[in-house]
Structures are given as C-alpha cells and as structure tokens.
Amino acid sequence: MIIRNVRILGGELVDIRVADGEIAEIGTGLEGPETVDGGGAIALPGLVDLHTHLREPGREDAETVQTGTQSAARGGYTAVHAMANTSPVADTAGVVEQVWRLGREFAHCDVHPVGAVTVGLEGKQLAELGAMADSAARVRVFSDDGKCVDDAVLMRRALEYVKAFDGVIAQHAQEPRLTAGAQMNEGVISGRLGLTGWPAVAEEAIIARDCLLAAHVGSRLHICHVSTAGSVEIIRWAKSKGWNVTCEVTPHHLLLTDDLVEDSPVGAYNPIYKVNPPLRTRADVEALRAALADGTIDIVATDHAPHPVEDKETEWSAAAMGMVGLETALSVVQEAMVETGLLDWAGVAQRMSVVPARIGRLGGQGQPLEVGAPANITLYDPSARTEVDPSAFASKSRNTPYEGMTLPGRVVATFLRGRATVLEGKLV
C-alpha cells in the first residue's frame, strides 16, 4: 500500500510505501495497486497515551475496551495505557491479561494495561507487581491513579520492587488529608464560590517527597497530570540533579482555567469542568505550557476519563471528576502549543508518541517514521477547523469541556502496523 502526499513532521511532500506492517520505502511518485491520498496531511508517528481510563471491567456503561480504543484511533492513537482503577481493580495478572486480551481482540489500537501499585488501590499492601510484569500483558507501568500512594514506606517499596524489571511507578500526586472534600482549585474563585479548595501544595508536597524517594532508591518515577507552576519547579529541580523523573500534562490543563467554574459558556458550577487535579489558574497554564516546551514536562497524556451522563449532569458537589480527551487531544495541543509557537510538529511527535512509548517501554510504538519502522502512522490536517460535537465521538461517554468550541485540526487517518483503523476521519 502507498500512502501518498504526506508531510512527515510537517516537512516536504512524500509518499510512504507500507509492506508487512512496516515502512518499506519513503520517496516521491511511488506507485502501487492500493493507495491512500493523504492530501498534504502531516504524518506523525502513531500517538501513544500513557494515561487512559477504559473502564472495563466494571463500568461498561461509561466505556469499554472496544469503544475506548475506537475513540483512541479516532484521536490518532495507536497505543494506550489502560489505568488500573477498574472493577475489579487491575491488581492481578488475571485482570491485566483480561484487559490486554480484549485489546488484542478488537485491535483498534494496542492496549497496555497499567497495574495497580496496591491491592484494591487501598494503599495498604503492595499488589503482585512481579506477576503482572511477567504476565502476557508484560506490565511496566504501575499506578493507583485516582488515588495517591500516600504511605511513604509503601511508595519506597514499590519504587524498589519495579527496578527488577525496569518498571515505573506513575504517581497520582494528591495528599489526601489536604484535599479532603476538595471540589476545585483552592484560590480566589473557590473562596468566592464557597467550594472546598484543592490546594496546589497537596500536589507539590507529594511530588517533592516522591522525587526524593526515587533518587534515594535509584528508581524510575513518573508523575501523572502535573497541574501547578510549583510542581513544574520541583520537577525541574529534580531533573537538574539527574534523577530519573518524568511527568505528563493533560490537554485540558494546557488550555482551561478555574474561572470556568464561575463563569463559562455553559453557565456557572457546570460539572463538565470538574476534574482531578482541578483546573488551575492562568499563571499555572502558562507555566505548564513553558515546561512542556522546554522539556521539563516530558509528555502529554489525556487522562481520558469517561463518565455516563447521570454521573456528570448533576449538582457540582455530587458529580464525578474527569473529562473524555482522546478525540480532542491533538487539536487542543495544536491550539495551546503549536498555534502559540511553543512547539513544532517534531516537538509534538516527541511529546505525544516517542517519549510516552519510551516511558512505557513499548518497543514497537513511538518510532520515527523511517524505513524499517513499524507503520504506526497518524495523518493530521492542521488547517481544518472543527466544531466539537460530542455526539460524533466514538467514546461511549460525552463529558467533554469543548462541546461547541471550534478547535484547529482534524485526524484524517490512523494506521496500526500498516492497517488503517481510521480513514477520512471515520473508523474503518
């Protein structure tokens, strides 16, 4: 098959010949029996998400492996890491293998289960990390995401344990006692609205502690969804020491701010903006963008968190936290980082494909688009303008904060090892 008229990382127009799931040739004027016209689209290595909630097993009303990976493919992803806070929790080899097998069966994108750090996400006892690593799912990323591993001794043991198989602990940094009952960012607006605040220090204190622990035991640490300017400063300091710390930012924390809770196109107190960690201030957003540009923040991860309508369209205090994100991630990154001149397309490819694959230790993903590489390719038209219509999502859930917004760009096609999962913006 020939993929014609594409610009690799925004470069010159070329054609790509794909054979046996790999890139066989890159050139101009390539001919073949089967062709796909890229129409001048940018070709990126297939996107890799380090932080997706697929909700299966247990909350198939919100999302399934099938719909979540369809959503991923439509967003240009060829691999996702499925978070462990399912029901039952993915804390055994049996559950991670179940999720991994479902991913293989539907084959819209690769599914790499994340293993829980502690049994039942309860923060009391380490889960069977070694058995999950040795399972068919070959788990390398472990996280209690949704909850923080707040016991320093358990966190230390987990960091030590995963060294044996080059695993990484991905921490949801939230000091639980500082955030009891927290509803939104602690600041001027939470004070005015009378909502319990989620202070920046609750994130930053855990990040500082865990960077020190990771350095102490010489292990790999990843920080999920960094959301404050102070977190960025701590991670910058840890990296300057040469410590093995990586981190992610979500698209929504690069674009949206806490004042939307008070005043937005969809009114005040609209739970569509309720998310954990919460939307922060404009100064935080600016710091996160600068840190993603200079490499202090390594990657963008979606924290795609589907919720059914009844869990989201309710009063603020009762609503579930989280937003769907797979199908809008690249557009939001274009808006926040590319249109602002902070990143070029090579920079986007690093932060949304190459480096997340490296952190997750995925061999066949996040490879530069070169001859011999697996043909995991995303075609993206940055000149398109799309009004976000949640009813068109492949995701089972609709809880997007971007409904009705016009965002730049459109995923034209996605190829997983040479096989199209999306063509002309539609699932194959």
Enumerate binding residues for Zn ion (CB under 5 A).
145, 172, 224
Q: Which is nearer to Zn ion, 91 or 381 (CB)?
A: 91
Rounded to whole angstroms, what are the CA distances from 88 to 56, 118, 158, 171, 260?
A: 9, 13, 21, 20, 34
H-state helical runs in 107-199: 129-134, 152-162, 188-193
Rounded to whole angstroms, what are the CA distances from 211 to 113, 115, 306?
A: 24, 21, 30
Give the pair of three-digit tokens for residue 138.
């070959």
Residue 222 CB, shortest distance to Zn ion, in Å, is 12
Instruction: Give the start-end residues of each E strand in 153-308.
Output: 168-171, 184-185, 197-198, 221-223, 245-249, 299-300
Helix (H, G, I), strand (E, B) or coil at 52: strand
Q: Which is nearer to Zn ion, 51 or 74 (CB)?
A: 51
Q: Which is nearer to Zn ion, 145 or 203 (CB)?
A: 145
Give 406's strand partners: 387
Residue 178 CB, shortest distance to Zn ion, in Å, is 16
Q: Which is nearer to Zn ion, 226 or 357 (CB)?
A: 226
Residue 14 CB, shortest distance to Zn ion, in Å, is 39
Q: Which is nearer to Zn ion, 223 or 422 (CB)?
A: 223
Q: Which is nearer to Zn ion, 112 or 417 (CB)?
A: 112
Dihedral (CA of 348, 241, 365, 228) sign: negative
**Type of residue at 261:** V
Residue 353 CB, shortest distance to Zn ion, in Å, is 21
Angstrom distance (rounded) from CA 327 to CA 251: 11
**Residues carrying an active site annotation:** 303
User: Which single residue brings its beta carbon nearest to Zn ion?
Assistant: 172
Residue 196 CB, shortest distance to Zn ion, in Å, is 18
The DSSP letter of residue 105 is H
Give 126's strand partners: 118
Helix and strand counts by DSSP (H, E) for the chain: 13, 18
CB 64 within 8 A of CB 54: yes
- DSSP assignment of 277-297, as one string? SPP--HHHHHHHHHHHHHTSS
Angstrom distance (rounded) from CA 1 to CA 294: 38
Residue 84 CB, shortest distance to Zn ion, in Å, is 11
Tokens 């230390």 -> residue: 156
Between CA 132 and CA 142, with CA 136 as vertex, the angle to 5 degrees is 30
Angstrom distance (rounded) from CA 28 to CA 303: 39
Between CA 306 and CA 312, with CA 352 as vertex, the angle to 5 degrees is 15
Q: Which is nearer to Zn ion, 18 or 223 (CB)?
A: 223
CB 138 within 8 A of CB 127: no
Residue 48 CB, shortest distance to Zn ion, in Å, is 18
Angstrom distance (rounded) from CA 423 to CA 428: 6
Residue 109 CB, shortest distance to Zn ion, in Å, is 21
Diameter of the chain measured on Cα atoms: 65
Q: Which is nearer to Zn ion, 132 or 305 (CB)?
A: 305
Q: Which is nearer to Zn ion, 45 or 322 (CB)?
A: 322
Q: How far is CA 154 from the centre of its chain?
A: 25
The DSSP letter of residue 118 is B
Residue 137 CB, shortest distance to Zn ion, in Å, is 21
